[in-house]
Structure 1
Amino acid sequence: MRSGKLRYHIEIQKATTTVDELGTPLASWQTLAFLRAELVQQSTEEFMRNQGASDEDTVVFRTRFVEGITNAERVLFDGVVHNIREIVSDPMRRHLEIRTATVRAEP
């Protein structure tokens, strides 16, 4: 993997639950890692759903290997939240391909 291709900054976030002073559980996101990544592929597909039409943006990031990233986390890239769909690593554990999706509903 060439470091010159890793020109984008992404943030891996994990869902956490904290309890406020009244005992109410609050869901929030905690940053696990800041990574440099290559934007491998970006595409948009339109789907008809029960609520109407919606667009699904698919983005594939490639980054250096990091232990412990799962589908339960999400990627924050350029101010947009991307849900992780699939994580693929090479056999030598040098890099990860993180396949993500963002669904936008049409008004």
Structure 2
Amino acid sequence: MRAGTLNRRVRIERRDQTQDDIGQPVDTWVEVATVWCNVKMLTGKETLAADADVASATASIRVRYRTDITSDMRAIVDGVIFNILAPLPDLGGREYTDLACTAFSNNG
């Protein structure tokens, strides 16, 4: 894979559960990796839900080949949070993994 096409940094995070000061469970996000990527915004739409405009977009984030990314994780690129729907590794060439993602519909 040509390094020149990987022109953004992406932080991959997984959800973890810790406890606060009084022992209550608290969801937090823990960094798994920060790697170079290429982001392609595929579609975008704006809908009305619960009397509020809601924007959403689908994107493909390409990173070097990895097998440790799951759909329970999220990706953050330039401050934008992407929910990973499915990691799609290049099993034949083992060059890249595409992350099928959505953005703007929530904060991960």
Answer yes or no: same fold by TM over 0.5. Answer: yes
Which moves more between the two structures, 9-18 or 36-45?
A: 36-45
Percent of counterpart pairs with the same letter? 24
State the 1:68 CA deviation: 1.4
Please state whether the residue corresponding to 2:22 is helix, strand or coil: coil
- Provide the residue aligned with 1:16 in structure 2: 16
1:87 aligns with 2:87: yes
Paired with 1:81 and 1:102, the residues of 2 have a C-alpha distance of: 6
Q: Once the 2 structures are TM-superposed, how far is the Cα of residue 51 of structure 1 from its aligned partner?
A: 4.3
Whole-Å separation in 1 of the counterparts to 2:56 and 2:40? 17
Given that residues 75 and 81 in structure 2 are in contact (C-alpha distance below 8 angstroms), is that contact kept between their aligned partners in structure 1?
A: yes
RMSD of aligned Cα (Å):
1.8
Taking structure 2 as the reference length, the TM-score comes to 0.85
Structure 1 CA distance for aligned equivalents of residues 86 and 58 of structure 2 = 11
For 1:51 and 1:85, how far apart are their aligned partners in 2? 26
Gaps of 5+ in 2: none
Aligned residue pairs: how many? 105
Q: Structure 1, residues 16-73: CA drift from partner, whole Å, max 9, x if none?
A: 0111231111110000000100123343112343444421121211110112100000
Which residue does the alignment assign to 2:97? 96
| 1:98, distance to aligned residue in structure 2 (A) | 0.6
TM-score, normalisation: structure 1:
0.85
| Alpha-carbon distance, 1:15 to partner | 0.3
